[in-house]
């Protein structure tokens, strides 16, 4: 069992326009209303890079910036794990279309946007971060793989680590072979020790799969969870939003699962952290 604390959350998805705005939906105070995922341009990038940034980059930067703002941490000093089940769909489609045409001159911009660690590179440009950054892919289990990697890094290095997971659709004909749901991205800033920014604790255990992954009560959110790999995070996000004890199971590989015991940060612990802060001043 490994314990980390979620300090900041970023979220972007259909009808989920940011973490704070999505809390009423995740806590079932409001019904989920489907709307296209809003993918804003990143204000952190220089103008040239902003024009070149593709959808995966804009999503990753948007949720990452939201999570770090909530955590109150400096991304320059914080390692990050980027996880996605594939690359930028539109970019891959354009590259393959050019290669299948008589005129096979490929744009360098298209090429560098096709690389799996492109969002990590843009993140370094946007934030000035020189901290380690990993980019991984594990098909439908990419969020679980990214979460496991981020938690291990946080525990072993005894430092905060950000997880940024994202997925976008492929256009046809790629989308016919690899259908994905709506664009979705999530970011979590995880720390191995509690701080005043902590929104909840997560105890992670890797165990054999029982075939009973956690689901969402909303039909729309459950469809999203099943169709977009990064949205496998939704039951964990709902547990953090509800600020109550919960057990979340996320499938990982063919025969494994992540068991996540989520709990709110106790009032006694927050009082203790307040005391430590006052003593330090």
Q: For residue 62, which phi and psi values (nearest 5 degrees)?
A: -65, -50
User: What CA–CA distances, in Å, run from 76 to 42, 124, 178?
Assistant: 17, 8, 35
Provide the H-helix boundaries in the chain: 19-26, 47-52, 55-71, 89-99, 108-114, 118-127, 142-157, 174-177, 219-227, 234-242, 267-280
> What residues make up the domain containing 177?
2-280
Task: Compute mean pLDDT per 10 residues along the chain, 281 residues long, and list them.
Answer: 97 98 97 93 84 92 96 97 94 90 84 90 94 97 98 98 97 94 98 96 95 94 98 98 97 96 80 52 36
CA atoms of 57 and 159, how far apart (whole Å): 25
| CA neighbor of 148 nearest in space, from 72, 233, 266 | 233
Give Dmax over CA atoms of the chain in angstroms: 71
| Cβ–Cβ under 8 Å, residues 176 and 92 | no
The single-letter DSSP state of residue 16 is E
Q: What is the pLDDT of residues 173-202, one digit of tens each?
A: 999 999 999 999 999 999 999 999 999 999
CATH number at 105 reads 3.40.47.10
pLDDT computed for residue 7 by the predictor: 98
Beta bridge partners of 185: 12, 166
Quick one: pLDDT at residue 275? 52
Which of the 8 DSSP states describes residue 76? G
Q: Which pLDDT score is estimated for 194?
A: 96
The per-residue pLDDT for range 199-213, each reduced to its tens digit, is 999 999 999 988 889
Do strands 133-136 and 161-167 pair parallel, antiparallel, or not at all (unpaired)? unpaired
Radius of gyration of the chain (CA): 19
Q: In residues, how long is the chain?
A: 281
| Residue keyed to tokens 């499938």 | 251
| pLDDT at residue 276, as a whole number | 46
| Whether pTM exceeds 0.85 | yes
Both tokens assigned to 163 = 């997880």
pLDDT of res. 274: 60
Q: So what's the pLDDT on residue 141?
A: 97
pLDDT on residue 267: 64
CA 246 to chain centroid: 20
| Number of domains present in the structure of the chain | 1
pLDDT reported for residue 221: 98
Q: What integer pLDDT is reported at residue 278 of this predicted model?
A: 41
Q: Say how many C-beta atoms besides its own lie within 10 A of residue 6's C-beta.
A: 25
């Amino acid at each position: 069992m490994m314990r980390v604390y979620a300090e900041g959350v970023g979220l972007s998805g259909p009808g989920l326009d940011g973490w704070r705005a999505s809390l009423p939906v995740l806590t079932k105070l409001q019904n989920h209303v489907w709307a296209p995922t809003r993918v804003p341009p990143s204000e952190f990038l220089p103008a040239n890079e902003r024009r070149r940034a593709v959808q995966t980059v804009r999503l990753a930067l948007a949720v990452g910036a939201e999570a770090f703002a909530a955590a109150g941490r400096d991304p320059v000093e914080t390692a990050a794990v980027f996880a996605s089940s594939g690359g930028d769909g539109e970019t891959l489609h354009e590259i393959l279309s050019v290669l299948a045409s008589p005129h096979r001159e490929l744009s360098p911009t298209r090429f560098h946007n096709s690389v799996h660690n492109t969002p990590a590179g843009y993140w370094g440009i946007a934030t000035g971060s020189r901290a380690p950054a990993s980019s991984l892919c594990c098909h439908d289990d990419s969020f679980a793989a990214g979460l496991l990697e981020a938690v291990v890094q946080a525990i072993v290095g005894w430092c905060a680590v950000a997880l940024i997971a994202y997925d976008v659709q492929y256009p046809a004909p790629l989308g016919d072979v690899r259908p994905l749901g709506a664009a979705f991205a999530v970011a979590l800033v995880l720390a191995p020790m509690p701080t005043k920014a902590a929104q909840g604790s997560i105890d992670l255990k890797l165990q054999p799969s029982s075939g009973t992954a956690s689901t969402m009560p909303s039909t729309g959110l459950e469809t999203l969870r099943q169709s977009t790999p990064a949205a496998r995070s939704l039951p964990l996000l709902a547990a953090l939003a509800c600020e109550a004890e919960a057990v979340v199971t996320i499938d990982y590989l063919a025969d494994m699962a992540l068991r996540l015991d989520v709990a709110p940060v106790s009032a006694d612990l927050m009082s203790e952290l307040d005391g430590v802060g006052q003593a330090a001043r």
